[in-house]
Chain A
Amino acid sequence: MLSRYKMDLHNHTCLSPCGDAGMIPQNILRAAVEKGIGVIGITDHNSVENVSAVKRAAEDFDISVIGGMEVTTQEEIHVLVFFDDDKGLLDFQELIYANLHGSNRPEYFGNQWVVDFEGGVLDLNPRLLIGAVTIGIREVEREAHLRGGLVIAAHADKTAFSIISQLGFIPPDVALDAVELSPFFRTDGNESWVKELPAVTFSDAHYLQEIGRAWIEAYVGAPTAAELKLALGGEKGRRFTACC
């Protein structure tokens, strides 16, 4: 049986250097529930280290969590990847960390808090999470799919860090599951890439008040990345609509 879920899958936590310090698990979930979001995605820059805390916190809320990250590829394209199982998440994390070099400078880029489910600080991630990994979009897409992941080009309409800004067009051999459009995107009808791939809208929240400003409604069998993948492809009766 299919159910309708309101999903906002692009949200940062206090682990992202640009994420607000108030973006701790319980705050994020409370804000999402208030906006009627039933499935929230956690996508920090190049790291999944706060996903487990948000999942643990979600046990006390009426909401599901899909874990992922926002990878910065070698071309400085932001790509959202999601995994349903912890093995996929951690395995992919290992690949990203092996290809991410440099140390964070919090005074310039911001703090990278690893927290527990109550927001208690466990660690400061020392890596340069704002940086780009040394593998390109094709390899990121392939490696994520090999691990059963879902791959979505982030804010494809933006003039920085998007697949369009960096490459000019979407290479046909990059097997994206969808493109994400910014919350305030308005089409002028000339973006052929919008027509060629499923287009989703998420909030890309860095602050609590931004959570739930964009979402999709998906008709799926379960609140998972695998089910969403079916919905994006319009398979097995699954489908979705974007809010804007």
Chain B
Amino acid sequence: MKLSEIVEKLQLEVMCGRESLDQEIERGFAGDLMSDVIANARPKDIWVTMQVHMNVVAITGMKETGAVVFTQGRIPLPETLRKAENEDAVLLGTGLTAFELVGRLYRLGITG
């Protein structure tokens, strides 16, 4: 499914990377421990997390995940946004909990 379609259907806030929404998302990964994400996330995953620090951007670049979604209305730190802008990362936000968001993604056909 196109990332832009996911953003529209789940009404996600686009915090960074609006020009990169025209990409296919195949699967998803949820995780707040960076070591877990480094070990287990895959390219083109949509990554669901409540962590908003700068390392999230470095890891999404390294793992080539398609986008990051911050849950529960968490606002990225200013340095996180700056780094994301420099590195063309896609940062999205939602007020939903991870559980709720992952459920809705699954209903759209995005599996683990």
Q: Assuming the A-B contacts A108-B58, A109-B58, are A132 and B53 also in contact, with contact meaning beta carbons closer than 8 angstroms in the complex?
A: no
In contact, A108 and B35 (Cβ under 8 angstroms):
no
Is B84 on the interface with A (CB-CB < 8 A)? no
Is A113 on the interface with B (CB-CB < 8 A)? no
Q: How distant is A197 from chain B, measured CB to nearest CB, in Å? A: 24
Is B108 on the interface with A (CB-CB < 8 A)? no
Q: Assuming the A-B contacts A76-B35, A132-B34, A132-B35, are A160 and B58 also in contact, with contact meaning beta carbons closer than 8 angstroms in the complex?
A: no
Q: Complex Cα distance A200/B58, Å?
A: 30
Closest to B54 in A: A18
Is A183 on the interface with B (CB-CB < 8 A)? no
Q: Complex Cα distance A86/B58, Å?
A: 33
Q: How distant is B102 from chain A, measured CB to nearest CB, in Å? A: 21
In the assembled complex, which residues on chain B have CB atoms less than 8 Å from the CB atom of A228?
none
In contact, A76 and B33 (Cβ under 8 angstroms):
yes
In contact, B38 and A108 (Cβ under 8 angstroms):
no
Is B111 on the interface with A (CB-CB < 8 A)? no
Closest to A158 in B: B53
Is B14 on the interface with A (CB-CB < 8 A)? no
Q: Complex Cα distance A32/B53, Å?
A: 27
79-109 of chain A: CB within 8 A of chain B: 102, 105, 108-109
Q: Assuming the A-B contacts A76-B33, A76-B35, A132-B34, are A161 and B53 also in contact, with contact meaning beta carbons closer than 8 angstroms in the complex?
A: yes
Q: Complex Cα distance A209/B42, Å?
A: 38
Closest to B58 in A: A108
Q: How distant is B65 from chain A, measured CB to nearest CB, in Å? A: 12
109-153 of chain A: CB within 8 A of chain B: 109, 130-132
Q: Assuming the A-B contacts A160-B52, A160-B53, are A102 and B58 also in contact, with contact meaning beta carbons closer than 8 angstroms in the complex?
A: no
Closest to B53 in A: A160
Q: Complex Cα distance A18/B54, Å?
A: 10
In the assembled complex, which residues on chain B have CB atoms less than 8 Å from the CB atom of A161?
53
Q: Complex Cα distance A75/B38, Å?
A: 14
Q: Complex Cα distance A105/B58, Å?
A: 10
Q: How distant is A16 from chain B, measured CB to nearest CB, in Å? A: 12
In the assembled complex, which residues on chain B have CB atoms less than 8 Å from the CB atom of A131?
34-35, 38
Q: Complex Cα distance A75/B33, Å?
A: 8
Closest to A17 in B: B58
Closest to B32 in A: A76
In contact, B38 and A102 (Cβ under 8 angstroms):
yes
In the assembled complex, which residues on chain A have CB atoms less than 8 Å from the CB atom of B35?
74, 76, 131-132
In the assembled complex, which residues on chain B have CB atoms less than 8 Å from the CB atom of A160?
51-53
Q: Complex Cα distance A18/B59, Å?
A: 14
A interface with B by C-beta (< 8 Å):
18, 74-76, 102, 105, 108-109, 130-132, 159-161
Q: A76-B34, A108-B58, A109-B62 are in contact. List 17 more A-B contacts (CB 8 A).
A: A18-B54, A75-B33, A76-B33, A76-B35, A105-B62, A108-B59, A108-B61, A108-B62, A109-B55, A130-B55, A130-B58, A131-B35, A131-B38, A132-B34, A132-B35, A160-B51, A160-B53
